[in-house]
Amino acid sequence: MMPITDRSLMSQTAGRTGPRKAPTMEDVAQLAGVSHQTVSRVLSDHPNVRESTRAEVLRAIGQLGYRRNSSARALVTRRTLTLGVVACNPTLFGPSSTLFGLEEAARDEGYMVSAVTLRRYSAAALREAIDHLSDWGVEGIVVIVPHREAVTALAELRLPFPVVTVEGGHDLPIPVVSVDQRLGARMATSHLLAAGHRTVWHVAGPPSWLEAEARADGWRSVLEEAGAVVPPPIQGDWTPLSGYRAGQELAGRVTAGAAGRGSAEVTAVFVANDQMALGVLRALREAGLSVPGQVAIAGFDDIPEAEFFTPPLTTVRQDFAALGKASIRLLVSRLESGTTQGDDERVVIEPRLIVRGSSTPS
C-alpha cells in the first residue's frame, strides 16, 4: 500500500503539532491538478487513466501521505471487508492456532478480522459476542465454539450474514469445517489395540463438547468392532488436573485389577487431549507404574510439548492452521457468491497419528 512515513512532507506549515486533519481525496486531487474522481480511479486501478496522470496522482498521494478513509468507502460500497470470529478458551493451543491460521488466511483474502473471545461458554455470551460483532458491521463470522448448545443456539439465530463454524457438528444447517475427530480417535485406539492390548480405556473431555463426544465415539466404535470390552469412560475437563485425577483412578484400577476383579484390566489408555494425558502420565508415575511398560498412553492434539513429555506422547495431530484457512475460504466464498444457501457444506480435514514412546516400548 502507500507509505506511511512521509507525513513529514505534508503541505502544511511545518512544526505545527496539532492533530492536523488527515488529507482527503480532494486534497490529493487539487495537488495533482485533477478531480477527486480521477484519484479514485487511480486508487482502484481503473484502466482508463492516462499514464502521466496516474503518475502525477501517485506522486501527490505519496507527498501527502494520503490513505483512503475506510469508513467512507465502506459506507458507499456497503462492504466493510471485516470478518468476525468468536472463540472460546482461546489460550489453549488448538483454538489459538486455529484463530491465527484464520487471521492469516483472511488477510491474504483482503479481509480484516476482529475476534471476540468467550471466557466460558453460554448462549447469552455467544449472543452478546455476535451482537458486538454485528455492531461493527462484520460481513460474516466464524464461530469456534465446539459446544453442543452453542451450535444449536447459533442455528436458531437467523443472522443477516453468513456464518461458518469450526468443529461445529454436522447435524445442523450451518457450514462446518472440522478435523475428523472420530477418525483420529479410531486411529489412536486401533494403534493401541494393534499393540496387543485386550482393550483400551478412555479419559474423555466434557460431554457437552462436540469434540469430546466424537472422540469417545470413535474410541468406542473401534472397541466394539474388535469385540473388545468397552470400559466406562472417565470424565475430564481438558485440564491437566482433571487428567491427573483420572490417572489416579486408573492407577487404582491397575492395582485392583492385579488382585483379579471383574472389570477389564488397565493396560492402555486413550486420553482425549494432550494436557489431560500429561496429568495421567504424572498420576501413573506417582503410583509407581511404568509407561508404556505397564500402561500405554495416547493423547490428542500434538501440542508442542507432547514430544517432550516423559515418555514422549503418542498422539493425534490436528492441522489447526488448515482449519482456520479452510473456514475463511468457506466464508469468503459465500460472501463473494452472495449465497446464504448451501448451508450443509462440510470440509473435513484428516488428522494424523504420531507414534512416540508412550505407546511403544523404547
Partner DNA sequence: CACCTGCCTGTGAGCGCTAACAATGATGCC
Partner DNA sequence: GGCATCATTGTTAGCGCTCACAGGCAGGTG
Report the interface residues with its own copies, using CB under 8 A. Answer: 1-2, 4-5, 7-8, 17, 19, 22, 65, 67-72, 74-75, 80-82, 90-91, 93, 96-97, 99-100, 103-104, 107, 112-117, 119, 127, 130-132, 134-137, 156-160, 239-241, 243-244, 275, 278-279, 281-282, 285, 304-305, 307-310, 338, 340
1 or 259: whose CB is closer to its own copies?
1
56 or 343: whose CB is closer to DNA?
56
What residues have CB less than 8 Å from 191, skipping those under 6 apart? 298, 314, 353, 355, 359
Q: Give the nearest distance from C-beta 217 to its own copies in angstroms.
A: 27
| Chain centroid, CA 35 distance in Å | 46
C-alpha cell at position 194: 494393534
Buried b (16+ CB within 10 A) or exposed e, 33-58: ebeeebbbbbbeeeeebeeebbebbb
25 binds, among DNA, its own copies, none (CB under 5 to 8 A by kind): DNA
59 binds, among DNA, its own copies, none (CB under 5 to 8 A by kind): none
Angle (CA) 92 97 245, round 5°? 25
Q: Give the nearest distance from C-beta 160 to DNA in angstroms.
A: 13
The span from the CA of 21 to the CA of 18, in Å, is 9
Helices 25-32 and 36-43: crossing angle in degrees, nearest 10, is 100
344 binds, among its own copies, DNA, none (CB under 5 to 8 A by kind): none
Written as one letter, the residue type at 350 is: E
Query: Which residues form the interface with DNA (CB under 7 A)?
Result: 21-22, 24-26, 33-38, 40-41, 43-44, 47-50, 53, 68-69, 72-73, 75-77
24 binds, among DNA, its own copies, none (CB under 5 to 8 A by kind): DNA
39 or 296: whose CB is closer to DNA?
39
Q: Give the nearest distance from C-beta 13 to its own copies in angstroms.
A: 17
The span from the CA of 85 to the CA of 191, in Å, is 36
Q: Give the nearest distance from C-beta 265 to its own copies in angstroms.
A: 24
Q: Give the nearest distance from C-beta 66 to its own copies in angstroms.
A: 11
Q: Give the nearest distance from C-beta 91 to DNA in angstroms.
A: 35
11 or 69: whose CB is closer to DNA?
69
Q: Give the nearest distance from C-beta 51 to its own copies in angstroms.
A: 25
255 or 310: whose CB is closer to its own copies?
310
116 binds, among DNA, its own copies, none (CB under 5 to 8 A by kind): its own copies
